[in-house]
Chains A and B, each alone.
Chain A
Amino acid sequence: MKILLSGTASDSHTWNLVYLRLFLEEQGHEVVGLGPCAPAELLVAGCLRHAPDAVVLSSVNGHGYRDGLAAVRRLRAEPALAALPVVLGGKLGVAGLRQEADVARLTEAGCDAVLGEDLDALREFLAARARREVPA
């Protein structure tokens, strides 16, 4: 699968992105990386340009909920990207605890999965979508 990997708008963290690129490539995926601090507009432009099979957003700075929500809403506002699988991983808030209400709002906005730091879940999420893509 072709995966667009991106940091969120206000998040400058890079190691998560360096690691995820290697991790995803080792799963056999092709990775287009947008790098850290990617605003929603840049994310949309990147998706339209590269036509990925899935988007992986990674956030660790404590603004994951706000930035992730804005990114997902902006993606879903674009008709061509309405069905593009989008997954958000990392931290949602500054408290270090997963807020289920935040997860629910992200899901309502069209985020297909909110995964925390569980890489097995990410691998499974992508594998499930890859299987769907295999022609019958």
Chain B
Amino acid sequence: MTAAPAADFGRFVAASAAAGRLVVQPRMGFGDPARMRAGLARTRAATAHTAGTLTVDSYTRVGDLAAARAAVADGARLNGYPIAAHSPATTRTVLDGLCDADFPVQVRHGSARPLAIVRALTAAGLDATEGGPVSYCLPYGRTPLRESVTAWARACELLSTGARPGAVPHLESFGGCLLGQLCPPGLLVATSVLECLFFARFGLRSVSLSYAQQTDPAQDEEALRALHRLAAEFLPADVDHHVVLYTYMGVYPRTEQGATRLLEASARLAVRSGAGRLIVKTTAEAHRIPTVEENVRALETAAAAAALAGPPAPGPTTGGDGEVYEEARTLIETVLGLHPDLARALPAAFERGLLDVPFCLHPDNAGRSLGFVDPGGRLRWARTGAMPIRPDAAADAAPLTSAGLLTALHHVADRYDSPRHRDGGDDHDRPQAAALAV
């Protein structure tokens, strides 16, 4: 058994992009090492240009390593791979002969205190992971933001210095997701850029900026172009970066056709807007944690849709100068203006409500902002609280009800499950607008 050979994540994605191929990647994690290995092997063998994923279980994610170990000891089925409960030798066995320069593996988790996970992944010879001090704290639990920022600064240093000699560790910001839906794109784009700046300041030289597909293909394309442009404007020139798109992270279509069409739309969006990588969703998403087979099918479906989409639209890094760009840039500059050290500027921004994630229940989030789906299907601000951006003047002032929230949460799923959404086209044949949800 050997250490995994160099599989620099950023280099792999850049080489794929140069060859005109979209990297597709699942979310996949099993408690049992043999099942995890089988899942990685199937991902690698898929008819698609894939990267592998070890998704960590949620006991490990919240730092309850004792519960993760107890579950392993009981043989209980976990919702992910307990990387800090299994030994580095076990994880190396899982990866042996699979993880290499042609198939990099990334650890996905969701932890506001990721030190144990970063220690475990570097000990197993891995060097790519994801998250962020804001995006893995506010929407995902109750760790105070300042503690998350401190833990993430330390984790960045550990990742950038603890990897194998010669390796270029990679860190992806989850900032483009936040709660997955009903957050207008300006804040998603700003969070991704700010977190990647944070990673760079704490030692990372290869990062990716995320964006989760939302309600409107044209708005999404605008957001992705803004993300490219802001990354080029704000990240240091010596930091390698790419954009990663997440297939829709909100309530997912329940029908196989609807789920497949939404996935295909995300693959076309990725190609059209110059994303280097796509994290897919499966047809099982609305019902349960997907199987390996469902994941492989999703990877192959996405890869086929991407291949059929043809070359990217000319100049994916140009044109990002609309509303989303302006909003994101204002938010980024406001935060950077608070303090030269982002580890202090980010908590200060949330404390003053200058960043405010809609629907987020975390005590460190001001909770005064609100997003809604407008009649044309675009995400807009009903309220912006103390953020330095304006709410939509046309926002309906009707109070938020449980039924209205449900309609908004199901907006995309209902559209794609509707038999009227026949052509899977992103820009045509959109059913009538759903009811306003503010």
Contact = CB atoms under 8 A, between A and B. Distances in A.
Interface of A: 9-12, 14-15, 17-19, 22-23, 26, 33, 35-38, 61-63, 66, 91, 93-96
Nearest to A22: B402
A14 B179 contact: yes
Interface in B15-73: 58-59, 61-62, 64, 67, 71
B141 A96 contact: no
A45 to B, nearest CB: 13
B289 A22 contact: no
Contacts of A33: 361
Contacts of B141: 12, 36-37
B12 interface: no
11 contacts: A9-B62, A10-B61, A10-B62, A15-B181, A19-B406, A37-B62, A37-B140, A61-B58, A63-B79, A94-B77, A95-B77
Contacts of A61: 58, 79
Given A11-B58, A15-B179, A35-B361, A66 B142 contact: no
Contacts of B363: 35
Given A12-B141, A18-B405, 14 more contacts: A10-B62, A12-B140, A14-B179, A14-B359, A15-B180, A15-B181, A17-B361, A19-B402, A22-B400, A62-B288, A66-B67, A94-B79, A96-B287, A96-B288
Contacts of B140: 12, 36-37
Interface in B65-105: 67, 71, 76-79
Contacts of B76: 66
Q: Which of A9, A10, A19, A23 has the most CB of B within 10 A?
A: A10
A31 B348 CA distance: 29
B405 A14 contact: no
B361 A9 contact: no
A60 to B, nearest CB: 11
Nearest to B64: A10
B142 A26 contact: no
Contacts of B71: 66
A10 B288 CA distance: 17
A72 B110 CA distance: 26
A19 B287 CA distance: 18
Interface of B: 58-59, 61-62, 64, 67, 71, 76-79, 110, 139-142, 179-181, 251, 287-289, 359-363, 400-402, 405-406, 409
Contact of B401 (A12, A26, A63, A91): A26
B405 A93 contact: no
B359 A15 contact: yes
Nearest to A24: B402
Contacts of A38: 142
Closest 7 CB pairs of A and B: A96-B288, A22-B402, A37-B141, A12-B140, A10-B58, A23-B402, A62-B79
A94 B289 contact: yes
B249 to A, nearest CB: 11
Contacts of B360: 14
B147 to A, nearest CB: 14
Given A37-B141, A38-B142, A62-B79, A19 B59 contact: no
A119 to B, nearest CB: 9
A80 to B, nearest CB: 24
A94 B55 CA distance: 14
A78 to B, nearest CB: 21
A95 B78 CA distance: 11
B342 to A, nearest CB: 24
